[in-house]
Structure 1
Amino acid sequence: MLGLQSYWDASYSEDLANFQEHGHAGEIWFGADVMDTVAIWTKKLCVSFFQGGLSSANDNIKFEVDDKHLFDYPVLDLGTGNGLLLQALAKQGFSDLTGTDYSEGAIELARNLAARDGFTTISFLVSILYSDGSPLIFVYLSTKSTLCYYILNFLTVINMFLHIL
């Protein structure tokens, strides 16, 4: 059930109604602390790449000089849901942020939350990647791109997806 679009459409319809009535953002998978940890780790990873590669001591990466280069890293969040991970990445300094989801309700919720929270530069798109391998959108990601996603758990043709990238 979790992988069916009908499940997510119903779930985000309920989340959207809760947002409109009560201002609730909906669920944060694994909690806000984990989401923030992922955003911080992603920032460290990108800064490390910019500094010349990965080190075994990612915790010691210096941010103060290279934060400005996060503007160079486009981020595509596949299966963005409510888009809160993109907001967490924006708080870390990323600015070229796009979220996609196959649920129109998810994208509507994500847009509403981003507008409410002042993240008006995040882009959101409704998109579907069919199991037969035909994408409705084609996204080119440069070698400096960061790809954040949960949706790979639900794709039936992972090799095809990786080939597109």
Structure 2
Amino acid sequence: VLFLPFGTGESMATSESQKYTCRTFGSGVVQPFQGSGFYVHSNCPFTLTRFTHNRVECDVSIRRGNSGLVVQVEIIINKVRTVLQNGSILVEDKSVSLPYDHTYQHIFQYGIYTKLRSSLLPLSVTWHSVAGGIDTLWVRALIDTRKADIHTL
């Protein structure tokens, strides 16, 4: 795994809504909730962020393919596992169609994006699917991440 900084966190986080957003895009750029962005060149799975709020845990892991696109995303919120892979969305190993409403999460089209909104955590995950994978994915925490138990990569 190769980590290369590409700028300062200040240049990427200019508005309040961006301040609490962790994102990955392109062929390996990662912008954490806080600090400088960096480049990850790897097709191994890794934890993008781990988030705990009011004793509810969230884990977002990704794996890139050889092309650099994200080919698998695993989102675990309160032990409910959602997997994005090959253009499909699986919740607890069952394929779901959109819009999907569950006690703990809602998954729906959001313009050209798809969005998962948690009803247990102040958190959403948004992604853009293209042929061959996902080219943009971001996790937005609706709390001040400097005061929460949030870890990025």
Structure with the greater alpha carbon radius of gyration: 1
Q: Same fold (TM over 0.5)?
A: no
Greater strand share, 1 or 2? 2
Q: TM-score, normalised by structure 1?
A: 0.25
